[in-house]
Structure 1
């Protein structure tokens, strides 16, 4: 879900920059494949949390599963968008519940993989990233 949210933000940002030709063109980021993103995320978690090889393998599997689910959600969204059928309130609620269930399942799996200190660090990192995203959203909103 977080990746979808980031992708949506990037899309909105690119569209807004495309409208204003007076602003200097930003250098485009290299597009990473899901496997490359997972590997990059795993490396970051390994260095930040000091994961051992067993934990790395478990976290890599978890990241791959999350990535596959996110890809599935993106494809579903794209299919709905292409067909111009708006989801009903019930469908939106069901999707939101499914995403929240996946989030709690991921948290439970991370808690079982990491020790107490690592889990505490991981939650702090996650919360910090949430705050950064909120700040970026406010900045983008103020620019528009």
Structure 2
């Protein structure tokens, strides 16, 4: 009887913990994300009003495209469809094209000093992401849960 109570308690506590982690709150709209991103970049790069306006248009367009792409990926996951090698290549190729286009747009909007700062920030982000990715793969190998 004691073992049964212990097992039930463990199961209930595990379920409630799992439910708490899955609820992360409401997501921001693409417009809200863009507004915050522009303000943050204004503080970091000392943007003027014209640059803010141009940047806001570009970032809003990107955020909307990203939302559509995320929805497509979620739909495929729900259907449990795997991407073929050609689809994966096409997706990565398109992503790199978008990055090249974004970098060119940023170069037009920002002055040399701002662009240099922006590139440094981008490089730091990439490094942090690769570190997180490495930590996650190490934890998966050890069988530990991965934190997000």
Shared fold per TM-score greater than 0.5 = yes
Q: TM-score, structure 2 length as denominator?
A: 0.73
Match of 1:67 among 63, 70, 86: 63
Higher mean displacement: 70-79 or 80-89: 80-89
Q: Which protein is bigger by CA-based radius of gyration? A: 2
The equivalent of 1:108 in structure 2 is 104
Aligned length, in residue pairs? 125
Match of 2:47 among 32, 45, 51: 51
Query: Which structure 2 segments of 5+ residues have no match?
Result: 1-13
Q: TM-score, structure 1 length as denominator?
A: 0.74
Spell out, residue by residue over 1:16-65, the C-alpha distance to the aligned partner (whole angstroms, 9 max, x if none).
xx78x5xxx7x956632222211111111001101011100010011001
How do 1:1-144 residues align onto structure 2 when only pairs under 5 Å count? 28=24, 31-141=27-137, 142=139, 143-144=144-145
The equivalent of 2:9 in structure 1 is none
**Superposition RMSD in Å:** 2.6
Higher mean displacement: 35-44 or 99-108: 35-44
Spell out, residue by residue over 1:50-101, the C-alpha distance to the aligned partner (whole angstroms, 9 max, x if none).
1011100010011001101111211221222233332211111111111110
Larger relative contact order (CA 8 Å, sep ≥ 6):
1
